[in-house]
Amino acid sequence: MQEPNLTIHSLHVHPIKSCAGIAVDEALLVETGLEFDRAWMLVDEAGGFVSQRELPRLQLVQPTLRHSDLLLRAPGMLALHLSLDAVESACRVRVWGDEVAAYDMGDLAAQWFSDFAGRTLRLVRFDPEQRRRCDPAWSGGVDAEAAFADGFPLLVASTASLDELNRRLAARGHAPVAMARFRPNIVLDGLDAHGEDFVDTVTLDAPEGPVVLKLTKPCTRCTIPNVDPATGERGTEPGDTLAGYRADARMGGAPTFGMNAVIVEGVERTLRAGARGTATIAF
């Protein structure tokens, strides 16, 4: 079978878990995925992570990565500047079943998010010395690690998959949705609709040499894609439409969109939008 020819359609970094993402022209690949992706996270008073599942309004927090700081804007709030090189006190936090080392980002950031969310929150940054290993049952034999992402360093989706979903939404009388709802890191051109489900490895061109990713686990979908990025309000679509045609037997019948991926080769190499690549199909 001929290997599909691919192009990186777009790259996306989500600096703060469950806040808005950023489309970038290029991104450095590090051990935990794209640099600065899910490097920060919001936690409650007990140190447990907080997401759009309980606070869909977090979608309205818009980050901008600059040379030396992370700039945050949100409706009704003054801008918040966070230095990329500064943290405050060490702490322990929980993301799903993992307790990990992190750094608190201080009282100003905590107050900013608490005021915006209407509940007590603190902002933390992942400790780069911490190794949060991915589930070996789904890591394809790779000793993979993630920062504050749900479970894997990268999420890969395709433009054809979104086109198919929007075709089905239109047939049901619903408006199209943007890829931002699915919060991927790498969006590919060149695959058939949901063709990423059947990909084993993706090799992408980078200036320093190839980047090889292994697509390992279908990404099950909760209520977060139902949050409108423009309003921060939750509806029922595209979740209802996905559930009608994307129930995945591998995941107990849960609807899936996109594939989690681990890094086989390419740490410290730079991925760029428009770069070409190929895929091998799993049999």
Distance CA 128, CA 74 (A): 27
Give the integer Cα–Cα distance in Å for 92 and 108.
Answer: 19
CB count in 10 Å sphere of residue 111: 14
Question: Radius of gyration (Cα) for the chain, nearest Å?
Answer: 18
Q: How does pLDDT run along the chain (283 residues), one tens digit per residue?
A: 557 899 999 999 999 999 999 999 999 999 999 999 999 999 999 999 999 999 999 999 999 999 999 999 999 999 999 999 999 999 999 999 999 999 999 999 999 999 999 999 999 999 999 999 999 999 999 999 999 999 999 999 999 999 999 999 999 999 999 999 999 999 999 999 999 999 999 999 999 999 999 999 999 999 999 999 999 999 999 999 999 999 999 899 999 999 999 999 999 999 999 999 999 998 6
Q: Torsions phi, psi of 20, nearest 5?
A: -60, 155
Q: How far apart are CA 283 and CA 280, in angstroms?
A: 10
For the entire predicted model, the pTM comes to 0.97
Tokens 């209407």 belong to 118
